[in-house]
Amino acid sequence: MSNLATNEERIAFLNEKAKELQVKQQEELVGDYDAALEEYRKKKKPHVIKFLGRKYTVPASAPFNFMTFWLRHCMKKRDGRLIVEIPDDRLLEFLQLMFGVEFVQDIEAEGIEFEFIWNHIALDVLALWGIWRQSGGGNAEKK
Amino acid sequence: MAERRFAGTVIKVNDKVLAKVTSFSRSKDFNEADVTGAEDLTEGGQILQQKFISVSVGETVTLEGIAISEDEGQSELADVADRGVEAVLEQTGPDGYGYKMTGYFTSYEESGSISEGVYTFSATFRVNEKEALEPEP
CATH code, domain with B64? 4.10.410.40
Number of domains composing chain A: 1
Q: What pLDDT is stored for residue A139 in this prediction? A: 44
Number of domains composing chain B: 1
In a domain, A71, yes or no: yes
In a domain, A93, yes or no: yes
Asked if B102 contacts B76 with a C-beta cutoff of 8 angstroms, the reply is: no
| Tens-digit pLDDT profile for residues A96-122 | 999 999 999 999 999 999 889 988 899
| Tens-digit pLDDT profile for residues B17-62 | 999 998 888 899 999 999 999 888 888 888 999 999 999 889 999 9
- Give me the domain span that covers residue B78: 8-31+57-131
Judge whether A13 is closer than 8 Å to chain B, CB to CB.
yes
Judge whether B115 is closer than 8 Å to chain A, CB to CB.
yes
Say yes or no to pLDDT of A23 above 60: yes
Asked if B117 contacts A1 with a C-beta cutoff of 8 angstroms, the reply is: yes
In angstroms, the CA B19 to CA B121 distance is 9
- Chain A residues in contact with B12 (beta carbon < 8 A): 7
In a domain, B101, yes or no: yes
In a domain, B44, yes or no: no
Q: Average pLDDT of A9-35?
A: 86
Q: How confident is the model at residue A2 (pLDDT cuts 50, 70, 90)?
A: low
Judge whether A23 is closer than 8 Å to chain B, CB to CB.
no
In a domain, A73, yes or no: yes
Q: What pLDDT is stored for residue B59 in this prediction? A: 92
In a domain, A78, yes or no: yes
* C-alpha dist (Å) from residue B93 to A72, A88, B8: 56, 69, 6
CB atoms within 10 A of CB A60: 14
In a domain, A124, yes or no: yes
In angstroms, the CA B63 to CA B1 distance is 13
- Give me the domain span that covers residue A93: 44-142
Q: How many CA within 13 A on the CB side of residue A30? A: 9
Average pLDDT over chain B reads: 86
B40 vs chain A: nearest CA distance in angstroms?
57
In a domain, B42, yes or no: no
In a domain, B51, yes or no: no
B8 vs chain A: nearest CA distance in angstroms?
9
B97 phi-psi bin (left φ>0, alpha ψ -120 to 50, beta other)? beta
What predicted TM-score, i.e. pTM, was given to this entire model?
A: 0.55
In a domain, B94, yes or no: yes
